[in-house]
Chain A
């Protein structure tokens, strides 16, 4: 197939229904591109200070972690994904103890995957054993710190990775966005897709400081389009098809709308590394919002 961008994939999973959509995509990709799939599970949060006890993610009970327990959990994961695990799949299973985001990043640090694949939010944060509202969510932390693209599948509608034909790339003209663009071009080329470059003009008064007049908005749209052309068009020409658009509104809503409009199979964005100004990090940045809402898998790129 000639596609070797995802040779090593780190699939972080809770091995519960919450990760099912992500699992479908993970196994899809791994089988399509003969990737090495590392199924990685963080068993639970260490508790009791320095003791060996963790609160198990699945049962929410306190368990004592030792070799037997690790073997048992590994077996459980195998059983859970039984239908996917056939001989054609190159996979390994690892389990760890700790805070999920940190342990996923630690695993990534050693195995240096080409792609990290995460499931979506586990629903109501307060019901999980990971409630650490001051610490922020797993997704945010991994997306922010990972050295490789992070693919997130949140909604069931997004859980499909088939013959890709339309990729949407959202840009905010930052340096990170340029890196994300490099990646988007590569994928589009390798998979022979169309690439739509998109910028959302933030016209919320919170961002602009005032209500913009229609003339101002249209002026800015023209400027942004010029920017897109200058920055990306020369390389876009290498593709079989491309388009460039700028819409105004609330950025994450516009991106989701645009992706739907383009029948996108994949959304690629840079992770906004600039800190979120509001104190409440649970609201998250654009990427998090897009991930939660998008109808296709989203890849977030940081470095």
Chain B
């Protein structure tokens, strides 16, 4: 059976397709079929010849096998220093092998490679900053995932996730109507407390166009209200697009580059349609990476920039606090040991460490903010990045991966962890569930709202 009913090389393009795949509980049949999935070696090799150019080839060639990347990888550290977890080994034994064999690899090899690509690398890119030759294994794993996706060797949830983007232009089955509806509903719920609170939809020429993570719409709509409240109190001229509001990209985790392009283009179209001065995305790491850092290239934008200047939520928040648009009541600042999770996707990969530290200065009583060690660009992945959080098949491996962050948090002694990233937030939630170390965790929005000084004219009447 070369192509299975559930597991095959075809991307999912219809809602029916998604439902059908969803109906296969936990992907049990999907993975069974994967054992018989054939490899199109010609296509694989042709793709490599067309897309694997000097950068990656040179990386694979000049890798000195020196092992200096080993210690940099939290998965190596946390899996008993298993030499099979050395980044260089992981990529050489997978992508390196595929290229050496000119694409002529077998099914078992591809399934093992899938596990390495999604359960032994979170694409956090930390090792890349520790290699004397400047070899970024995380980038190569991203590339490898693309090849695996093409061949149909992709974890069940990510195949679905990429399909969601293709069908709904969102990572979950949230339609444009659902989005606007939910946003309006949430604003209604809070307008008593914040008179004049609205959600301006599709306003042209606003200063800020706000984009979100579909999960907020689906499961955590308070987050939408909180965003509205903060923009409202800061006096921002903001808007949300009724189409092109989803900033995330599970397609990026899946290696479905075509879907990545489709997804990000809807956001860029919204920017071109509404012509905002800036786009601000929600507290999500991979969403920022997808839409702001990588997206322009998927969409073929040669200058590497989205159509409008695009910043992460922490950049906006830091700016609002620094300029006094938002004022913190000093009495309400956090007065307990608190630590901060640096998201790889916008700290290591976009240099935003200063913004988050500025925020901490405003919202934490001096002396209570405790940095993790290591931190900033050298911080470790939360343990669930790159799609790891969502893959049932690799849940066990993911839970082991959480140990690094658990121990980092424990070492700070803080009981409160601020995590301005959905993936990190999830991973930290899961690590509390798994290891019960007695911590609380939060996004920034709810924390900041509680300590705001609200200008007189925006306060509710008694």
Contact = CB atoms under 8 A, between A and B. Distances in A.
A2 interface: no
A273 B195 CA distance: 13
Interface residues of A, number: 29
A102 B442 CA distance: 17
Interface stretch (B20-28, B202-210, B289-297): B20-28
Contacts of B23: 66-67
A102 B222 contact: yes
A181 to B, nearest CB: 18
B330 to A, nearest CB: 14
Contacts, number: 72
Given A102-B221, A102-B222, A275-B193, A50 B161 contact: yes
Name A's interface SS.
loop
Interface in B393-433: 395, 422-423, 426, 430, 433
A279 B389 contact: no
Contacts of B384: 49
B305 to A, nearest CB: 28
A145 interface: yes
B192 A50 contact: no
B390 A66 contact: no
Contacts of A1: none
A134 B157 contact: no
A52 B157 contact: yes
B2 interface: no
B390 A109 contact: no
Given A102-B221, A133-B440, A134-B440, A66 B430 contact: no
Interface in A117-161: 133-135, 145
Contacts of A275: 193
Contact of B392 (A48, A105, A303): A48
Interface string B194-219: 00000000000000000000010011
B442 A99 contact: no
B82 interface: no
Contacts of B171: 50
B222 A64 contact: no
Contact of B391 (A51, A98, A135, A279): A51
Contact of A53 (B193, B218, B392): B392
Given A50-B250, A134-B441, 19 more contacts: A48-B157, A48-B391, A50-B215, A50-B390, A51-B157, A51-B389, A51-B391, A55-B433, A66-B25, A68-B25, A102-B219, A105-B189, A109-B185, A134-B442, A134-B446, A273-B192, A274-B460, A279-B450, A303-B192
21 contacts: A46-B219, A47-B430, A48-B392, A48-B430, A49-B215, A49-B389, A49-B426, A50-B161, A50-B171, A50-B390, A51-B157, A53-B392, A62-B395, A67-B23, A99-B220, A102-B220, A102-B222, A109-B185, A275-B193, A279-B450, A303-B192
